[in-house]
Structure 1
Amino acid sequence: MHTTDVEQLVEQLAAKLGRGLSLEDLDGVLLAYSSDQLHADKVRVNFLLSKRVPADVSGWQLSHGISAAVRPVVVPANDELGMLGRVCVPLLVRGFRVGYLWVQQDEADQSATAILAQLPGVRDGLDLLASLLLDSNTAESESRRRREQGFLAACAAETAAAAAGREEMLQRAPWQLGIIFEVAGAPAGPGPAPVLPARSDPLAATLIHRAAALQATIGIDDALFSAGTDTHAVILFHASHGERSHAAVLERYERELAKRAGATARVLMGLSEPFAAQRQLAAAYQQSAVAVQASAVDPQFGDLLNYRSAGVYQLLAAGRWDQLTSVHYRTLQAQDRNAELLPVLELLYDNDGAVQDVADAVHLHRSSVYNRIARIRALLGTDPLHGRIRLELHLAIKAGRWQRRPRL
């Protein structure tokens, strides 16, 4: 947001309306005001001097419902506060609140009718003002920060209920939680953990994820609330059939992240099961974390994964599997120095034994796949496709991947 642009636009609107205007953010902090006004009341004068709405004035304004309004609100005069009547114009972008524009009545005005009649004529200017505020004001708002902190605390089971975003949640049950996680890449086979792009400043990284999540969810009706941490973002969705909204948010998030971070990274989303009670929020957070971690370590899942589709990783997340191994698995690990055997075996398990699909995936002839299976059989002294051996090795392979998961 360019301050000069906002100030000039406020002056232009004031000239068209012929009235004094002041612009404030969601925390009651003065952002801009018009310079000419013959009859400024005590509240306006003090506001322009202090740059912040006093608590008693804020209480009077909030008592008239401005925080939930989507249309102009008439706030009557208050002699005790030294306040003339005024009209509050909520500034919204696609339903998202970004600030308030205040239009003060003159002393001669008997009502706000004349102001309300003028506002439709400056609709385009109001929309432009809202769009200028959107990019830099809302993500950095103190009110927004408090709500996000409360929401994340509820996700971490640090509070009994979701204090932040409560109004959104109460209106749109059932819900679904999504975690968006950024990695520089994910391994196609055994290897190191997925790498997080370098972020030298955790506070800056948090703001990047918060702002990207905020921008990515605006205008998506099923996206109810978002919050960001230094490694990932959390999105509260209204649970609906299909994943169109989730995919749209993920695509937009990737673009917003690239715009803010200056580099393109792989972005993943893990989704919880739908839930209908606020006390289930922490459990939903754990489910979405498992889903996004599984997506980060196992390329078969793609970039958008629902918890119920995470397969064996649901079991791995529920127990202590860091030391999970077996003699057969260790034997293959020791002999598979060129990573030729275990990746083929995993693909074979994942593709229900379809040798042609495995051959196509690794760009080998079918006979080469059969040869590698024969080498595995010779090393183990048993058939890797036998039921119990297959279960043992498949689980051990996935446990190895799970050990390399990114920690949230």
Structure 2
Amino acid sequence: MLEELQRVVEALAHRLGRAVALDDLDFRLLAYSTHADAGDEWRARVILSRGAPPEAVAWLRRQRLGRATGPVRLPAENDLGILPRLVVPVVYQDVRFGYLWLFDTEDSLTGAQLELASAAAAEAGAICFRERVVSHLRTAREGELVRDLLSEDPQVRGMASARLVEEDLFALRGDVTAVVARPLPAGADGVDEDDRIALQAAVNTASARLGDRGSLRLVRPDHAVLVMPSATLRRSPELPEALRTTSLERLGRSAKWRDVHVAVGSPARRLDDAVTSYTQALDALRVAEVVPSFAPLVAHESLGIYALLAGQPIDQLGTYGVHPAVRRLLEADRQLFTTAELYLDRAGDARATATELGLHRASVYHRVRRIEDVTELDLSDGQHRLLLHLGIKVSRLLGLA
């Protein structure tokens, strides 16, 4: 698209004998002529940085160009180094895509030249419109194939993986990782269609950072998925945090949302195994919601024993996972429950447990004896320690603790 827009700009500049430039709606430079008339200080800065300075953007916004239906003459703004110019809205099928700029310091453009400029703006609009349609079709096709890629059916996944590569929708570079973002509503309303659109915009922003064919996107009823080469995530470990920040901004920071949690699955060796990384990310989100210490950014590889437990059906955990000893501990004293968990997390190290709890070591030994009395377990026995440790973690997942 940019090459086509450049040809339109160069052709118009040649016919008019003056500098021409084309910006998008945010005044980011898309194309500019190489005409000898270099323009003004502002245009020089735009060419160097590919975008307008903030103070110039603010001035342009005040000109209400978004309401213009035809060519508009803008006066000089000496403080910003802006010379007089003509701006033509780039519109096609009533959709506005940007602005075509011509330098006109002496108000010398004729009616015929204005018609040429308007025709060039219309041609640029048609190019942008066509690109948008192609982009929408590409996104729809990508979404369809990503849904199949995350299917439970291995044959469907294999076909989707092959299609994504064959249709040049994804550049396969080694193993892949799934990153999942889930908004957490404060009430019972859940995620509505407007929220999903906002989440889609956030995922699109994150995907744009990864370049063409650098990721795969999908928005589901209550979460969004990005699948990318694992090497990309290793080079840019800030991506999950950036996705969370962008999601919060797009959704709007309001009382409707508690937070947005983002989880990273473990790398999958092949694209058609991306569903494994995706499932792991969902498991990690489940853990983060009930164990706050993992939130708001969680990696499946950091879950420890929770990685094993979270992969089990919740009803099965409820039936078999919580040992009566754990239930007795929960009912007896939550302080003892916390001490038991920390003591077992630290492999029975009383000194480390005491330090973290701010207690004397003797107090920890006293609590351990009380824990043994309540649970009827011997914490010097490895099997008893394992039983209690797993039971405590399961109770966390079930929201009992």
Give yes or no for contact 1:181–1:231 (8 Å, CA) kept in 2: yes
- Greater relative contact order structure (CA < 8 Å, 6+ sep): 1
Quote the residue 1:333 is aligned against. Answer: 330
1:210 aligns with 2:200: yes
Alpha-carbon distance between aligned partners in 2 of 1:387 and 1:332, rounded to the nearest angstrom:
19
Give the distance between the partners of 1:157 and 1:310, measured in 2 at CA: 24
CA–CA distance in structure 1, aligned partners of residues 241 and 217 of structure 2: 13
Query: Which residue of structure 2 lines up, in the alignment, with residue 270 of structure 1?
Result: 263
Task: For 1:281 and 1:10, locate their aligned partners in 2 and report how far apart those are by CA, in whole Å.
Answer: 50
The answer for the alignment partner of 1:110 in structure 2 is: none
Structure number with greater Rg is 2
Corresponding position of 1:296? 289
Mapped contact 1:258–1:265 kept (Cα < 8 A)? no
Flag the 1:142–1:11 CA change in 2: closer, same or farther, 3 A: farther
Check the 8 A contact 2:175/2:229 in 1, yes or no.
yes
Is 1:388 the equivalent of 2:383? yes
Shift of 1:145: 5.2
With over 3 angstroms needed to count, the CA separation of the structure-2 counterparts of 1:310 and 1:329, relative to structure 1, is same
Listed as ranges, the matches of 1:5-404 within 5 Å are 5-6=65-66, 8=68, 11=71, 21-23=90-92, 30-31=95-96, 37=115, 99=128, 144=139, 147-148=142-143, 150-157=145-152, 159-160=156-157, 161=160, 167-183=168-184, 199=189, 202-220=192-210, 224-240=215-231, 243=234, 245-258=236-249, 260-263=251-254, 265-301=258-294, 303-316=296-309, 317-318=311-312, 320-323=316-319, 324-336=321-333, 339-404=334-399
Query: Identity, % of aligned pairs?
Result: 19
Deviations, residues 208-227 of structure 1 (Å, cap 9, x unaligned): 22222222443245962333
Distance verdict in 2 for CA 1:269–1:381, change over 3 Å: same
Tell me how far apart the structure 2 counterparts of residues 148 and 371 of structure 1 sit (CA, whole Å).
Answer: 58
Deviation at 1:17, TM superposition (A): 9.7
| Counterpart residue type for residue 273 of structure 2 | Q
Number of residues of Structure 1 aligned to a counterpart in Structure 2: 304
Q: Displacement of 1:307 after TM fit?
A: 2.7
CA apart distance, 1:293 = 2.0
1:11-59 C-alpha deviation (Å, 9 max, x unpaired) = 579x9899995457xxxx8435989646999xx9xxx9xxxxxxxxxxx
The AA in structure 1 aligned to 2:96 is L
Contact (CA 8 Å) 1:215, 1:253: kept in 2 or not?
Answer: no
Deviations 1:311-361 (A, max 9, x none): 32333214532212223222212322xx11111111122222333443344
Gaps of 5+ in 1: 49-85, 91-98, 103-136, 185-195
Structure 2-normalised TM-score? 0.60
Please name the residue that 2:78 is paired with: none
Q: Confirm or deny: 8 A CA contact 1:23 1:33 kept in the other structure.
A: no
Could you state the TM-score of these two structures normalised by the residue count of structure 1?
Answer: 0.59
Quote the Cα distance in structure 2 between the aligned partners of 1:237 and 1:197: 32
Greater shift, 218-227 or 268-277, is seen at 218-227
Show structure 2 runs of 5+ residues with no match.
Answer: 1-24, 27-60, 74-83, 101-113
Which stretch of structure 1 is more off in the superposition, 215-224 or 378-387?
215-224
Give, in angstroms, the shift of residue 269 of structure 1: 2.7
Cα distance in 2 for residues equivalent to 1:403 and 1:292: 14
Alpha-carbon distance in structure 1 between the residues aligned to 2:199 and 2:139 = 14
d(CA) in 2 for partners of 1:315, 1:237: 24
**Judging changes above 3 Å, is the alpha-carbon distance between structure 1 residues 211 and 297 closer, same or farther for their aligned structure 2 residues?**
same
Aligned equivalents of 1:272, 1:299: Cα separation in 2? 18
Q: Mark the CA change 1:201 to 1:268 in structure 2 (over 3 Å): closer, same or farther.
A: closer
- Secondary structure of 2:143's aligned partner: helix
Change in CA separation of 1:147 and 1:212 when aligned onto 2, cut-off 3 Å: same
Q: 1:345 to 1:277 in 2, by over 3 A?
A: same
Aligned mates of 1:283, 1:309 — CA distance in 2: 16
Q: 1:232 deviation in Å?
A: 1.9
